[in-house]
Amino acid sequence: MTRFSCCVLSLVFLLSIVDVAEAQRRSNPLLQHAPDPTVVATTDDAGQTVYWAAATGRGVQLLKSTDLKQWRRVGRVFDQSVPEWARREVPGARNLWAPDLSYHDGLYYLYYSVSTMGSQRSVIGLAVNKAIDPESPDYEWQDRGKVIESSPETTDFNAIDPALFVDQQGRWLLFWGSYWTGLKVVEVDPATGKPKPDAEIQPVAARPDVESHAIEAPFVVYRDGYYYLFVSWDSCCDGARSTYNVRVGRSKNAAGPYQDAEGKPMLEGGGTLVLESTDRWRGPGHNGVLITDEGQWFVHHTYDIQNLRAQRILQVRPMTWTDEGWPEVGEPLATP
């Protein structure tokens, strides 16, 4: 065998390794960029549970899993990276942030954020669909456009990080917010998914005691007479230096006021720690919660110190509750 032939074979071998690695990277978003995830569960025709996640990305990423461990990308909500109307509203926006995916009354609701880093000029939009599976004949996202907006001239909040919640009285409530004066909530009309004409925007959590006011990513669940508001504190996107962490408070009313386990109001900087950085996992946060008959799951993103090039990866952890009624999360279901 000539030296040239050996070089060719070596090159072919190296390329095959690269191809395998790339295939693995594409087939499992645990190994790659999938920030701000929310997850819903469905049942297919064979009775198998199927999980669907939405995550930040061009046009909003859609992901699919049958075990909450292995995921694959199955498409995007929008063909464009940002819908045309939103691009006009927020010039410079390159992708859609922090999608919130939920199912109510026969429709999948996907709220999404449009902004640029550090800007208060932001909008929240809404798209709906009868189906979540791209292979379904009913699969067609309908964009309902703008829901909430913010700007330095008109508001004291930032209109990103939406989360829809329907309380025990049947009220549809939309939570949102990031930095500035904190997190807000407003009642929305189930017919439109947009704020009722006479609805008042109310504050639900803030950090007035820190200079950065760093709080965002609200998410609410109900359990045993209490509503639990999960939030993320501090810096989300600095790789190994990220300080993101998840806090929680609870209330008898979905719209608040919320208090932490020590009784400190969340409007005054209260928040009981749920999840923070470890030696390997940095900046865990922007969580959702998935509640199924099989268990409860804490879904979030984090940096893997062993693979920072993967950016913020999707991570799923089991969630249980203490005797005092506060959430605890376990170790990741899967590790890259």
Q: Which residues pair with 321 in a beta bridge?
A: 327
Residue 203: asked if its preceding bond is cis (omega within 30°), the reply is no
Residue-level pLDDT at 272: 98
The predicted pLDDT at position 62 comes to 97
User: Is the overall model pTM greater than 0.85, yes or no?
Assistant: yes
Per-residue pLDDT reduced to its tens digit, 180-214? 999 999 999 999 999 999 999 999 999 999 999 99
Residue 129 pLDDT > 90, yes or no?
A: yes
Residue found by looking up tokens 């909500």 in the block: 77
Q: For residue range 264-300, what is the model confidence (pLDDT) as tens digits?
A: 999 999 999 999 999 999 999 999 999 998 899 999 9
Distance CA 237, CA 93 (A): 17
Which of the four pLDDT bands, split at 50, 70 and 90, describes residue 174?
Answer: very high
For 142-158, write each residue's pLDDT tens digit.
Answer: 999 999 999 999 999 99
pLDDT at 1: 53
pLDDT band at 46 (very low <50, low <70, confident <90, very high): confident
Comparing C-alpha atoms, which of 32, 40, 39, 23 is closest to residue 57?
32
- Please report the pLDDT score of residue 2 as a whole number: 53
Q: Is 216 considered catalytic here?
A: yes
Predicted confidence band of residue 14 (pLDDT cuts 50, 70, 90) = very low
Residue 211 appears among annotated catalytic residues: no
Q: How confident is the model at residue 45 (pLDDT cuts 50, 70, 90)?
A: confident
156 vs 176: CA distance, rounded Å:
13
Residues above pLDDT 90, as percent of the chain: 88
258 φ/ψ angles, rounded to the nearest 5 degrees: -100, 145
- In this predicted structure, what is the pLDDT of residue 8? 39
Distance from C-alpha of 320 to C-alpha of 274, rounded to nearest angstrom: 11
What's residue 31's pLDDT?
60
Q: What is the pLDDT of residue 47?
A: 86
* Residue-range domains of the chain with CATH: 33-329 (2.115.10.20)
Q: Is the pLDDT of residue 11 over 60?
A: no
pLDDT recorded at residue 32: 79
Give the span between the Cα atoms of 292 and 275, in whole angstroms. Answer: 21
Angle at 313 between CA 311 and CA 314, to 5 degrees: 160
8-state DSSP, 334? -
Average pLDDT over residues 120-134: 98
Q: Exactly one of 187, 216, 234, 260 is catalytic; which is it?
A: 216
Q: Please, is 224 exposed, middle or buried when counting C-beta atoms within 10 Å of its C-beta (0-12, 13-18, 19+)? A: exposed
Mean pLDDT of the chain: 92
Among candidate residues 36, 161, 187, 304, the one labeled active-site is 36
Q: Which helix (H) or strand (E) holds 7?
A: helix 3-27
Cα 200 to Cα 2, 174, 185, 195, distances in angstroms: 79, 12, 8, 9
Least confident range from 13-22, 60-69, 241-250: namely 13-22
Q: The tokens of 12 are what? A: 């072919």
